[in-house]
Homo-oligomer: A and B are copies of this chain.
Amino acid sequence: MTPAVHPDIAPLAFLLGTWAGDGTGVYPTIEPFAYREEIVISHVGKPFLAYRQRTWHATTGEPLHAEAGYYRAPTATAAELVIAQPSGIVEVDTGPIDGTAVSLRSQLVGRTPSAKQVDSVERNLVVDGDTLRYDLYMGAVGQPHQIHLKAILRRVEG
């Protein structure tokens, strides 16, 4: 039985579901690429949402990226997001909730000794009915903060 959404996280309940879609990535240090993505955002009745995603190369189907973390909403208009990435990166992001949009900016980016340098991450998500659009800006490996990813997904479950 699915428990009710905890009232503290209700301002972010618009993110709940399994989302599938397509995105594109660019950065000065790499070739542009296209990817398929699945995002799962779920809850267990506690005051957080669990977030995980995976991406695959659009043509070869090869696994590309993954990340996992948790959303919190300390107030009705303030979101927090903690993320771990297999590239050896962790993020602590915060930012405003505005209706069915949330804009997050890294307050802290941590890395393991073997990870590449990442200095800043910005994640902007907008949900419109069963459509989720996001873009992700990043400052990394000596490059200034700039667009890295853009994707459109459809809610396929939940």
Copies of this protein chain in the complex: 2
Segment of A25-33, A46-54, A125-133 engaged in the interface with chain B: A46-54
Closest Cβ of chain B: how far from A78's Cβ, in Å?
8
Q: Within the complex, which residue of B46, B80, B84, B90 is in contact with A114, where a contact is CB–CB below 8 Å?
A: B80
Known interface pairs A68-B50, A112-B94; A84-B83 also in contact (CB < 8 Å): yes
11 A/B residue pairs, CB under 8 Å, sorted by A: A52-B52, A66-B70, A70-B84, A70-B88, A72-B86, A72-B88, A80-B114, A82-B84, A82-B110, A83-B90, A92-B110
Closest Cβ of chain B: how far from A50's Cβ, in Å?
7
Apart from A80-B113, A92-B112, A110-B110: 13 A-B pairs, beta carbons within 8 A? A45-B63, A50-B68, A68-B70, A72-B86, A72-B88, A72-B112, A80-B88, A80-B112, A83-B90, A88-B92, A90-B90, A90-B92, A92-B111
> Are B69 and A113 neighbours in the complex by a CB distance under 8 Å?
no
Secondary structure dominating the interface of A: strand
A46 CB contacts on chain B under 8 angstroms: 63, 86
